[in-house]
Amino acid sequence: MTLTILWLLPLIGGVLVAFMPARLSKLMSAITAIVTLGIAVGVALVFDPSAHQYQFTEVVPWVPQLSIFYRLGVDGISIWLVVLNAFLTVIAVLATPIRMKNANRFLGLILAMSAGLAGLFLAVDLVLFYVFWEAMLIPAYFLLWLFGEDEEKPGRAAIKFVLYTLAGSLLMLVGVIGEYVSTGAKTFDLATLATTPPTAAIQFGLFFVFALAFAIKTPLFPFHSWLPDAYLAAPTPMLITFAGVMGKAGAYGFLRIAIPLFPNPVLWWDWRWVMPVLAVAAIIWGALMALAQRDMKLLVAYSSVSHMGFIVLGIFAFNVQGQQGAVLQMVNHGIIVPALFLLVAWIADRTGTRDRSALAGLAPRMPVMAGVSIIVVLAALGLPGLNSFVGEFMTLLGAWQRAPVLAALGAIGLVLAPVYMLRFFQGTFQGEPVEKRPMHDIYTGQLVLLSPLVLLMFVLGIYPYLLTQLMPALGQIGLAR
């Protein structure tokens, strides 16, 4: 029941807090999120990295006539994503202001989205994976629709988000049915399906529908156009899990579904080469778009597209270095991007604008905010000693072993990242102040909220083995080959 609790507890908590007064709802949400995090950390601490199979498995017949089972498990891919989801849910709950209108419903939806994400990372049955995939999208849609900040066109970002993800979901449903029919295995168990792949021609089509669904959710160029609108409209507490965790769902789908179930999708051309090319395009395009942005929130959004490109490039390196680096970078990006969005929101709250060209000279008036910001910015641009460096280095090392040209092109993103991130910092905190009115520095509560994220940037940058030691279990589903 341990794994079931990881998704059921926040779901029940979300339903309850939605009907509580604002102050009580935040307290209950925080308790629920912290207890869930404690359970997730406990699972990680007793996880056995030497076992090449799913652990803590739970199997209950669901629709046995169709071979559909409620089947949960964790391995070297999912364990740290489960912990990341629980951890960022705590941060998101604590970052939600009580004075927000309908804060209880907002917190309830945050917990419900966290429950869907936890179930997605735990599901090892193909139908159950699809169910949780849909379940995580529903709260996200209502959060964007009811609490979105797109004042000019209310609901536009929510509608665009749901249309893109609905298209991906329908394609995935076709793939689920096609996989069941084509293999003849009469099961949806992912471990069994990985040992009975369909013919190469069928793999070609099934890989296409699954990969398109995951590419939309990642998002991978050129299927990324929903992301800037959604990230721009999303309130900051939502972005902590929306960008920090849900943005990894597509990449996780590649690792969990597309690669192990379809190892040889070759017909007219090889999809295993198409995906790395698109990943490199995402790296470069996202970086160039980040360079062009004046709105700091959009800058961070497009930088996320670029960084997700590194993750996909590592996944399709088809070697241990690349794919371990991809999983490591999912966690690293999930730590950095919430910190960036929090800083942007706090700066905008004090200055009344997110336009970096209208800001300058904030450092003398907000020295602590400037000090914290430079650490987060340096982590985002991949400074050695901070967490993002190790993940990006491993993904490029894996890509170099497979395709040196693509790795060299992908490294352009490493060159552009310092440009747009340092422009973000220098344009905001350095230079001659645009206006000299006094401003509040970062509040104690905000500093406490950000401290765990900053601490993890140092810990994982100096000692990434803390995460990678559990990843030998990747070999169970054929990733290291």
235-248 tens-digit pLDDT: 999 999 999 999 89
The answer to whether 174 and 240 are in contact (CB under 8 A) is no
* Tens digit of each residue's pLDDT (9 = 90 or more) over 319-369: 888 888 999 999 999 999 999 999 999 998 888 888 887 787 888 888 899
Mean pLDDT of 370-387: 92
Mean pLDDT of the 459-466 span:
90
- CA–CA gap between residue 115 and residue 126 (Å, rounded): 18
Q: Is residue 370 part of a domain?
A: yes
Closest CA to 348 of 242, 424, 267: 424
Segments in 123-224 forming alpha helices (H):
126-147, 156-183, 190-193, 200-217
Taking CA 296 as the corner, what is the angle to CA 292 and CA 297, rounded to the nearest 5 degrees? 110
Give the other-Cβ count within 10 Å of 408's Cβ. 13
pLDDT recorded at residue 52: 76
- From residue 244, alpha-carbon distances to 114, 125, 257, 398 in Å are 11, 25, 21, 24
**Token pair of 68 as six digits:** 């559909």
Spatial separation of the C-alpha atoms in residues 242 and 263, rounded to whole Å: 30
In angstroms, how far is the first alpha carbon of the chain from the final one?
Answer: 33
Of 113-117, 191-195, 372-376, which range is least confident? 191-195
Phi, psi of 68 (to 5 degrees): -100, 125
Q: What is the pTM of this model?
A: 0.91
Measure the CA–CA gap between 307 and 290, rounded to whole angstroms: 11
CA distances, 324 to each of 80, 141, 311, 408, 413 (Å): 12, 31, 10, 19, 20
Degrees, nearest 5: CA angle 300-304-308: 170
Mean pLDDT, residues 409-426:
89
- Is residue 60 classed as helix, strand or coil in its secondary structure? strand
In a domain, 403, yes or no: yes
- The total number of structural domains in the chain stands at 1
Percent helix, strand and coil across the chain, each rounded to 5? 70, 5, 25
Question: What is the reported pLDDT for 268?
Answer: 45
Backbone angles phi, psi at 122, to 5 degrees: -95, -20
Q: How many helices (H) and strands (E) does the chain have?
A: 21, 2
Task: From 332, 209, 191, select the one nearest 260 (Cα to Cα).
Answer: 191
In this structure, what token pair is assigned to residue 78? 């999912």
Are 76 and 471 spatial neighbours (Cβ–Cβ below 8 Å)?
Answer: yes
* Weakest mean pLDDT among 6-20, 44-58, 378-392: 44-58
Predicted confidence (pLDDT) at residue 473 exceeds the cutoff of 70: no
Better pLDDT: 477 or 185: 185
Could you tell me which of 206, 184, 204 has the C-alpha nearest to residue 193? 184
Residue of 118, 7, 51 lying closest to 474 (CA atoms): 51
**459 located within any domain:** yes
Does 248 map to a domain?
no
Confidence of residue 475 (pLDDT cuts 50, 70, 90): very low
Domain that holds residue 470: 269-481
Q: How far apart are CA 53 and CA 473, in angstroms?
A: 7
Q: Which residues pair with 346 in a beta bridge?
A: none
pLDDT of residue 245: 92
Helix (H) / strand (E) containing 353? none
Rounded CA-CA distance 337/344 in Å is 11
Confidence of residue 481 (pLDDT cuts 50, 70, 90): very low
- Under 8 Å between Cβ of 361 and 432: yes
Q: Are 312 and 282 in contact (CB under 8 A)?
A: yes
Q: Tell me 311's DSSP state.
A: H
Radius of gyration of the chain (CA): 21
The answer to whether residue 237 sits within a structural domain is no
Integer angstrom CA distances of residue 212 from 169, 170, 271, 445? 10, 11, 11, 42
The torsion angle over the Cα atoms of residues 186, 189, 195 and 199, rounded to 10 degrees, is 50
pLDDT digits (tens, 9 = 90+) for 175-208: 998 888 887 778 888 888 888 888 878 888 888 8
Whether residue 86 contacts residue 119, with contact meaning beta carbons closer than 8 Å, is answered with no
Q: How far apart are CA 93 and CA 331, in angstroms?
A: 19
Eight-class DSSP state of 471: G
Residue 351 is assigned to a structural domain of this protein: yes
Question: Residue 3 contacts by C-beta under 8 Å, 6 or more apart in sequence?
Answer: 43, 56, 58, 72, 73, 74, 122
Would residue 356 count as lying in a domain?
yes
Per the domain annotation, does 30 fall within a domain? no
User: Maximum Cα–Cα distance for the chain, whole Å?
Assistant: 71
In whole angstroms, give the CA distance from residue 379 to residue 52.
33
How far apart are the C-alpha atoms of 396 and 321, rounded to whole Å? 9
